[in-house]
């Protein structure tokens, strides 16, 4: 799923399918780092359930959640729910900046997307540590 110009995908794996795949894989017995991406993974109703599964299965693993950060309320609500129901420990948030201002907006296909990203980053900084790498 994505909340920008991209197509919606109704063929996403369910939590049960993810669980079955991971638990059945010899290659995934031990992981140091997990990336949860999409589209916009935070749009999934079962996103916290997915994080909970990975937290239980790999308690010492670092999680990176990729987001376009275009929806401040979605970001804050998701992080609050994760904090209540799992943990924010060993959690990172990543995003892409495709250029400054209108250049980012053109790539993303949404006017104002760059400002939305900036607003979300500012709001996140008030609640959790945010680090930006260039």
Classify the phi-psi angles of 41: left when phi > 0, otherwise alpha if psi is within -120 to 50, otherwise beta. Answer: alpha
pTM of the model: 0.83
Which pLDDT does position 9 carry in this prediction? 56
In 3-state terms, what secondary structure has residue 3? coil
Domain ranges of the chain: 15-127
Which pLDDT does position 113 carry in this prediction? 95
| Beta carbons within 8 Å of 35's beta carbon, 6+ residues apart | 63, 64, 65, 66
What CATH architecture applies to the domain 15-127? Answer: 3-Layer(aba) Sandwich (3.40)
Which pLDDT does position 131 carry in this prediction? 63
CB of 36 closer than 8 Å to CB of 63: yes
Crossing angle of helices 47-57/72-85, nearest 10°?
40
Q: In order along the chain (134 residues), what is the average pLDDT of each group of 10 residues?
A: 54 93 95 90 93 95 92 94 90 90 94 95 81 58
CB of 97 closer than 8 Å to CB of 107: no
Which pLDDT does position 133 carry in this prediction? 58
Which pLDDT does position 3 carry in this prediction? 52
């Amino acid at each position: 799923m994505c909340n920008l110009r991209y197509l919606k995908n109704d063929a996403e794996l369910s939590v049960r399918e993810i669980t079955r795949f991971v638990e059945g894989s010899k290659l995934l017995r031990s992981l140091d780092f997990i990336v949860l991406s999409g589209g916009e993974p935070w749009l999934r109703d079962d996103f916290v359930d997915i994080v909970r599964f990975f937290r239980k299965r790999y308690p010492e693993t670092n999680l990176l959640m990729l987001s376009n950060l275009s929806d401040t309320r979605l970001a804050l609500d998701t992080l609050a729910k994760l904090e209540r129901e799992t943990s924010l420990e060993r959690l990172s948030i990543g995003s892409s900046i495709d250029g400054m201002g209108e250049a980012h907006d053109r790539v993303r296909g949404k006017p104002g997307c760059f400002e939305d990203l900036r607003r979300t980053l500012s709001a996140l900084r008030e609640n959790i540590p945010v680090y930006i790498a260039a």
